[in-house]
Amino acid sequence: MSESEFDIIKTYFSSIGNTKDWLITGVGDDAAILKPIPNQQQLIAIDTLNTGIHFLPETSAIDIGYKSLAVNISDIAAMAGQPLWFTLSISLPEVDHDWLKGFADGLTDIANQFGLNLIGGDTTRGPLSITIQIAGVVPEGKALTRSGAQLNDDIYVTGYLGDAAAGLKLLQQNKKIYSQVERQLLNRLHRPTPRVNIGLSLRGVATSCIDISDGLAADLGHILESSHLGAELEREHLPFSGSLQQSGFALERQYEFAIYGGDDYELCFTAPQSMRDILDDISKQTSCQISRIGRIIHDRGLFLVDKTEKKTISKTGFDHFLSS
């Protein structure tokens, strides 16, 4: 380790998170020391964000810091877990203190919101790449998986769909100035909200759950594959934010964003019809919209229904949707 690496770690990455009784030693030794938490199962996930692929080169350091951790927290939320700690492996093309400060600020902001500790990592030189490993806990047997959906379950999503994809489309248009509505969409792209509280409330309520990183069709598709079932979505019940509705994108475009656009990091889950009242309460308690968007059916496949027709939609991409 070179002196500058040591300084970077000490200055930016050595004190994210406060004292915890399960954390004996964090950043600063050859490995972190953790005490196991009785009766809890561990959840571990890891995600890498590369420049040019997961974020555009012009994305601000603070947003990169924020989002890198947010997408990992979202994975723990989708398992109904309580996130506890993360490690950070970062490759940097150069030592740019403004960039590092912004990145650490974004990371610290979201780490503090969810009470997470940064317990270790690795710092190297190379094209910008950020890998975060996250851990959470869940009481034994309470984790929500993709494989638990049952015939006739309702299908739900939290929040709104399509905002992040609309934000990405705006970025790709290379505009110089954004309206307030457009800035709200960009904010949803850069600063997704991990639904940890909802995930925790879904223990014993939902039968399956996933977070929407690749788009509703693709991610609900994973639940359907794992559960060996199909789904019918009701077009009129897909939730659109006010921002998306006012964005000026054509309605068909909005549906494409909602069904195929990634990066919303909302939860998609299934629950028996008997849970409808409980889910209304969870929505109120968490101040988060929860929309019932369809149901699990026996026929394998994903269908979109409206008043006049029922059409098959692809679980993977735009093409079938556009041509049907």
- Using CB under 6 A, list all residues that contact ligand ADP: 1, 9, 13, 27-30, 88, 90, 118, 120-123
3-state DSSP assignment of residue 152 = coil
| Comparison of 90 and 206: residue with beta carbon closer to ligand ADP | 90
**If binding is defined by CB under 5 A, does position 299 make contact with Mg ion?**
no
Quick note: the x/- pattern for Mg ion over 94-133, rule CB under 5 A, is: ----------------------------x-----------
- The contact pattern for Mg ion, residues 154-193, with x = CB under 5 A and - = no contact, is ----------------------------------------
CB of 196 to ligand ADP, least distance (A): 22
> Of Mg ion, ligand ADP, none, which one does residue 213 interact with (CB within 5 to 8 Å by kind)?
none
Kindly report the number of other CB atoms within 10 A of residue 324's CB atom: 11
* CA separation for the pair 290, 281 (Å, rounded): 10
| Size of residue set near Mg ion by CB under 5 A | 1
3-state secondary structure of 3: helix
Mark residue 50 as left, alpha or beta (left: phi above 0; alpha: psi -120 to 50; beta: remaining). beta
Taking the least distance from each CB to Mg ion, the nearer of 28 and 204 is 28
User: Nearest distance from residue 105's CB to ligand ADP, in Å?
Assistant: 15
Residue 29 binds Mg ion, judged by CB under 5 A: no
Q: Where are the alpha helices (DSSP H) in the chain?
A: 3-8, 61-78, 97-113, 163-172, 180-190, 196-201, 216-227, 242-245, 251-260, 276-286, 318-323
If one asks whether residue 280 binds Mg ion (CB under 5 A), the answer comes out as: no
Which residues does 314 contact at the CB level (< 8 Å), separation at least 6?
Answer: 217, 302, 320, 321
* Residue placing its CB nearer to Mg ion in the complex, 29 or 225: 29
What is the smallest separation between the CB atom of 14 and Mg ion, expressed in angstroms? 14
Q: Tell me how far apart the alpha carbons of residues 185 and 138 are, in angstroms, rounded to a whole number.
A: 33
* Consecutive H or E run containing 173: none
CB nearer to ligand ADP: give 30 or 58.
30
User: Cβ of residue 134: shortest distance to Mg ion, in angstroms?
Assistant: 19
320: number of Cβ within 10 Å: 14
